[in-house]
Structure 1
């Protein structure tokens, strides 16, 4: 009897070791990936975030212009891409709830009634109230890997939402200061154009007085036309920048009133490369990592599908 018990224990132990070796029960761990870059990334995730680093500052402490802050708030409230990202988070959260409920038994209740009549007999009724219970025992990790995959999928959507949020803030700020720079450039170009226009008139007067030749007047006129063409290009770029900002804020295309003197004061960072600690906290990088983790658990689920399933069923 003891030999049979020992054999059973050894068989269970060997089976567990084989299943673990196949990666069915393993958790995703970036440190186990055979890549120096990924291992460096995993080590950077363990470091404590530096709250004073420029990348970890709140956008409100970086962008202090009241007009820009108002535009960013409107973009975060109205942007369709951000709304879509938030809906994806809700979908992933609901899928995670469904994966967790897979551990519970399922109940099927399908009541029915039918009647039959033969000859001159009265109509006889037959009532059915069947109840079926099915409970899958997760021995080989099928439900476990599905739940873990749903967890990393939810984390991926949250990181993606954060990445979209960061892109919207950066996009609005970039358009804002681009419009300010173009307005300043347009103002300077128009003032320069007026000066060259007066210069052309002076050249013509000097030419009529016999003090200059025709080629000097032609060169001055060509420079004036060149500046006029530049003004047209600046106006086109300004129109495109206004349309881009309207698209980000999700409002009708309009000309945004932005002061040409608007400037951004940020600390000067002198370095030759970006530290891994800053790359590791980027939401788009974390979202890509969650995509890899999701593929890891999908592979584990596919391996678990080769093993039999154990279901406890009851009908009444």
Structure 2
């Protein structure tokens, strides 16, 4: 009898092996996407790219580097991204173990009382209607991966795992950019505050000078009032600048996962901008940009889910076995109490209320959506590179003109002040206009430098730098 069962099991396994050769799933290939022209008006000559530079080499400011490292160690979003990897890894491990059979140990006791009136036995026969059954046994079940159902599930889990790792990289690159941009905003505000306070000091002196000129009948009382208004116009901006500084410090503190407080920093004038801003080839975004990688892994996951949905239309082979000890009396528990069963089952779906068809249609639709998202993510990546490049070029172009503007305005302020003191060829309105224009230009020059620094950071992130 045992020999006969072994032949049947062997026959089922051979059949499963033959069926497995007729796989209905497809092999994944990376989708072909166009990368030509992603960098607007930029013709890349080689594969040298800023993205390959470690972030420690990109920044020369040691205090900024210390803040970035602290953020990488403590940021909550990055910690959560790492936990997502751990969760996906657990799912991947479970999908690999799905190839193995399940095994469980069971122990049960059953007390059964049958109805004598319901038994179809002749009168006079004494039947024991009360039985006690004691069982201790193992049970196992195994599903053969005939059509690639388990393989598709494993590959989908692998894509999901790789996607969470890419997401972690994306969080890291964004975190480095956010810390750097906030840092540059902070030191730019410091510079603007210094310029404004210096201007305020000069305007206080100017008010005293105008008062002296009024006493000498050189100017009228209107000039004194205008000089005072000019003083207050500069003074009123200082609280706003201090508030912006405080808010930026608080924003940086949140990125560092610490309570709001002061941030140790250097000055804007001490910052060094990298000279070589190579962007490499657009096709490098496919592997350098974590969000592009994540989008491809999402497409790969949906591709394998479509494979999985196809397998539900085909029969599944399941082997189930039970074996152990069973007896009606505990004293005979180890005496001729061995039992076992082995069942091989082949199940072919015929009508399942449209569940399998709906599953496949949904999976195919989600695969199309994932592909669209992948293409859109790549286009956005190219847009960000193009915008950052032009932002940097615009800042550089403005700095040259801004320096000439400031130099001219400094002369204009000096000339109008001297003319007001010694000549009637001008009035205080000319002085006022020159001073206001000079302050605006000096503050704009700070913004130009901030734009230049942040453009480098944004270009670095747009190219996929920060996670290598």
- 1:3 aligns with none
Is contact 1:145-1:298 (8 Å) kept? Answer: yes
2:87 pairs with 1:91? yes
Q: What is the CA–CA distance in structure 1 between the aligned matches of 2:65 and 2:246, rounded to whole Å?
A: 22
- 2:30 aligns with 29
Aligned 1:80-229 pairs, distance under 5 A: 80-113=76-109, 126-229=133-236
2:253 pairs with 1:246? yes
Q: What is the CA–CA distance in structure 1 between the aligned matches of 2:206 and 2:81, rounded to whole Å?
A: 57
Q: What is the CA–CA distance in structure 2 between the aligned matches of 1:164 and 1:174, rounded to whole Å?
A: 15
Q: What is the CA–CA distance in structure 2 between the aligned matches of 1:268 and 1:213, rounded to whole Å?
A: 57
Q: What is the CA–CA distance in structure 2 between the aligned matches of 1:187 and 1:303, rounded to whole Å?
A: 68
Larger Rg, first or second structure (1 or 2):
2
Go from structure 1 to structure 2 and tell me whether the alpha carbon gap of 1:306 and 1:218 turns closer, same or farther (over 3 Å shift): farther
The CA RMSD over aligned residues, in Å, is 2.8
SS in 2 for 1:259: coil
Match of 2:62 among 62, 66, 77: 66
Match of 1:269 among 271, 277, 282: 277
Q: What is the CA–CA distance in structure 2 between the aligned matches of 1:84 and 1:196, rounded to whole Å?
A: 52
SS in 2 for 1:132: strand
Go from structure 1 to structure 2 and tell me whether the alpha carbon gap of 1:61 and 1:268 turns closer, same or farther (over 3 Å shift): closer
Go from structure 1 to structure 2 and tell me whether the alpha carbon gap of 1:269 and 1:60 turns closer, same or farther (over 3 Å shift): closer
2:53 pairs with 1:57? yes
2:279 pairs with 1:279? no
Go from structure 1 to structure 2 and tell me whether the alpha carbon gap of 1:124 and 1:306 turns closer, same or farther (over 3 Å shift): closer
SS in 1 for 2:236: helix
Runs of 4 or more above 6 Å deviation: none
Deviation at 1:115, TM superposition (A): 6.5
Go from structure 1 to structure 2 and tell me whether the alpha carbon gap of 1:36 and 1:255 turns closer, same or farther (over 3 Å shift): closer
Q: What is the CA–CA distance in structure 2 between the aligned matches of 1:69 and 1:220, rounded to whole Å?
A: 44
Deviations 1:132-161 (A, max 9, x none): 221111111111111000001010000111
- In structure 2, runs of 5+ residues without a counterpart are 1-17, 39-45, 114-129, 324-468
Go from structure 1 to structure 2 and tell me whether the alpha carbon gap of 1:243 and 1:162 turns closer, same or farther (over 3 Å shift): same
> With structure 1 as the length reference, what TM-score do the two structures score?
0.80
Deviation at 1:29, TM superposition (A): 2.6
| Aligned length in residues | 281
2:305 pairs with 1:294? no
